[in-house]
Amino acid sequence: MAKSMINEQVHSAAAAGTFTIGGDLTVNRLGYGAMRITGPGIWGPPADKDSAIATLRRAIDLDVNLIDTADSYGPAVSEELIAKALYPYPPALVIATKGGWERPGPGQWTHNASPKHLAEALEGSLKRLRLDRIDVYQLHTPDNAVSFEASMGALARLREQGKIRHVALSNVTREHIERARKIVPIVSVQNRYSFADRESDYIVDYCEANGIAFLPWAPLGQAKEAHDAIQKVAKELGATPLQVALAWLLKRSKVILPIPGTSSVKHLDENLSAAGLELPQAAFDELSALSIPPASLRG
Ligand SMILES: NC(=O)c1ccc[n+]([C@@H]2O[C@H](COP(=O)([O-])OP(=O)(O)OC[C@H]3O[C@@H](n4cnc5c(N)ncnc54)[C@H](OP(=O)(O)O)[C@@H]3O)[C@@H](O)[C@H]2O)c1
């Protein structure tokens, strides 16, 4: 395929196939990460609000029906923009939000996964997203100052109260997942992962074995350069390296649901083209065999 062809093609997210989260939420496997529709340092409103709204609406036009967000993106900005752009929501749309990790200033994170805070954070997300129930509510990250069982117990109670449909995790080890599953069913796990950032390989395998969705964050390696090999594969396929990175994830496991983040319609279109990009086995194997220090993705 000539280089211009794949980049000019805009695929539907449906071309990536589907996965059913928690046994009842069927989504197209290529989703959208809504962390980038905020200001610099994931703080405050985006520089171009109209573009952020257009990007969200374009995602729906391209059949994206899994959107990842968090109360702390902005904070509040990402969830508010999602509601502003998309409410009333299309029936099949799954919004996965998170709580337990606060954003007190640009580029800063503070842990807060106490039961009291999680209950308050959930109420805030319900209000901003204009929902009675969150389809997928993710503990953003375990809080070392709070018993992990206490955080999960709080989410289990909120689920019993009907405010959460499914409970999920982010930034966790296998031990966390196993401990959480003793308290409440876990439907998805979100850790940093890409072809060049494989610390969570064993978590992907665990999720696959247990029918749990795996949402890789930074699936594009946050657009940093990773390795010459991906340039080579991209050239051979007439695609961009970022499209190849997404195609690698889609091929890596059927439980992987990439959520590439962008604030632009142009980049969204490019990323969605990867839904229909089939990575040849040899290229997949070549990229899978690479050993790249994760630091290359963290800058
Ligand atoms: N659970 C967690 O702790 C956690 C942490 C980080 C992220 N997340 C979630 O995961 C999602 C994805 O992660 P991420 O946004 O950090 O990283 P990413 O998806 O790997 O990369 C996003 C970056 O790549 C750029 N980009 C996107 N498409 C592009 C394209 N086609 N060409 C060139 N540049 C492109 C974006 O800039 P533009 O805006 O200019 O396109 C942005 O700077 C987030 O949006 C968020 O929902 C979760």
The CA 210 to ligand 1 mean position distance, Å, reads 27
Residue 222 is predicted with a pLDDT of: 84
Residue 214 is predicted with a pLDDT of: 98
Residue 7 is predicted with a pLDDT of: 56
Residue 299 is predicted with a pLDDT of: 46
The ligand 1 atom at the shortest distance from the C-alpha of residue 194 is 20
| Residue numbers of the chain with a pLDDT score lower than 50 | 1-4, 296-299
* Strand partners for 99: 139
Nearest CA to ligand 1 atom 31: 267
The CA 152 to ligand 1 mean position distance, Å, reads 27
Q: 170-208: per-residue pLDDT in tens? A: 999 999 999 999 999 999 999 999 998 899 999 999 999
CB within 8 Å of 266: residues ≥ 6 apart: none
Residue 6 is predicted with a pLDDT of: 60
Q: Catalytic annotation on 89? A: no
Task: Choose which residue among 6, 36, 98, 297 to substitute to test ligand 1 binding: the one with the highest number of ligand atoms within 8 A of its C-beta.
Answer: 36
Q: Rounded to an integer, what distance in angstroms lies between the CA atom of residue 254 and that of residue 212?
A: 10
Task: Choose which residue among 55, 98, 262 to substitute to test ligand 1 binding: the one with the highest number of ligand atoms within 8 A of its C-beta.
Answer: 262
The CA 268 to ligand 1 mean position distance, Å, reads 11
Query: Do residues 195 and 249 make contact, with C-beta atoms less than 8 angstroms apart?
Result: yes
Task: Choose which residue among 215, 222, 268, 270 to substitute to test ligand 1 binding: the one with the highest number of ligand atoms within 8 A of its C-beta.
Answer: 222
DSSP 88-105: SPPTT-EEEEEESEE--S
**pTM, two decimal places:** 0.96
Helix axes 228-237, 281-288, angle to 10 degrees: 170
Residue 268 is predicted with a pLDDT of: 97
DSSP the chain: --HHHHHH----GGGG-EEEETTTEEEES--EETTSSSSTTTBSS-S-HHHHHHHHHHHHHTT--EEE--TTTBTTHHHHHHHHHHPSPPTT-EEEEEESEE--STT--EE---HHHHHHHHHHHHHHHT-SSEEEEEE-S--TTS-HHHHHHHHHHHHHTTSEEEEEEES--HHHHHHHHTTS-EEEEE-B-BTTB-TTHHHHHHHHHHT-EE--BSTTGGG----HHHHHHHHHHTS-HHHHHHHHHHHH-TTB----B-S-HHHHHHHHHGGG-PPPHHHHHHHHT----THHHH-
CB within 8 Å of 83: residues ≥ 6 apart: 128, 129, 130
Residue 291 is predicted with a pLDDT of: 75
Nearest CA to ligand 1 atom 44: 33
**88 preceded by cis ω (within 30°)?**
yes
Q: Rounded to an integer, what distance in angstroms lies between the CA atom of residue 37 and that of residue 52?
A: 5
The CA 223 to ligand 1 mean position distance, Å, reads 7
